[in-house]
Amino acid sequence: MLVVELGIPELTTEQIETLCSTSENAARKYVLSKVSSKMVDRLDISVEAVGSKPVNVTVEIDLALSPQAKGIDAQTLVKEAVNEAHIASEKYLRKTK
């Protein structure tokens, strides 16, 4: 795991909520860019931001694909979506400096 110190100020409650929704939206958008929503039986995304210096962002994705989604590795898709969520949260945090 790579930890990057961004040197950001403490976040307000509103900024934390925006950070979490930004990360969640990025993960959801990524998954739905790779598979049709019709092939997704379940997509639950949970994002939690804890602490202020540093901010730890935890992204959990529960993904179940329908039987029609043959050839798609759900675990790989989840890992990639989590990565996209972290990239989005890092971009957001860099803007708050």
CATH number for the domain harbouring residue 66: 3.30.300.100
The answer as to whether 47 is a domain residue is yes
The answer as to whether 5 is a domain residue is no
The answer as to whether 3 is a domain residue is no
Give the gyration radius of the chain's Cα atoms.
15
**Residue 77 CB partners (closer than 8 Å, separation 6+):** 31, 34, 35, 63
Find residue 48's DSSP bridge partners. 58
Q: How many domains does the chain have?
A: 1
pLDDT tens by residue, 23-74 = 999 999 999 999 999 999 999 999 998 877 678 889 999 999 999 988 999 9
The answer as to whether 57 is a domain residue is yes
